[in-house]
Amino acid sequence: MQKRTLGKSNLEVSAIGFGCMGLNASYATSVVSKGEGIAIVRGAVERGVTFFDTAEVYGPFINEELVGEALAGVRDEW
């Protein structure tokens, strides 16, 4: 996976990001379960994704908590 540096921070993230809105908020009628959401995020990590887009408006805070739980244990590897 290619990497990109964000601004002047030297924070390096994957060139491809993952939008997390559909994990618990959606314009459609169905949303994935918490377990499915965690599995999806972990699957993205296994494929090299390290850039996750989330927002309070998807919850509030529910989306961030789900992504945080999914990334627990792997975020220190980056």
Q: What is the set of active-site residues?
A: 58
Q: Which two tokens stand for residue 49?
A: 């994704």
List b or e across 38-49, with b for residues whose CB sees 16 or more CB atoms inside 10 angstroms: bebbeebbeeeb
Contacts of 66 (CB under 8 A, 6+ apart): 20, 23, 24, 34, 37, 38, 41
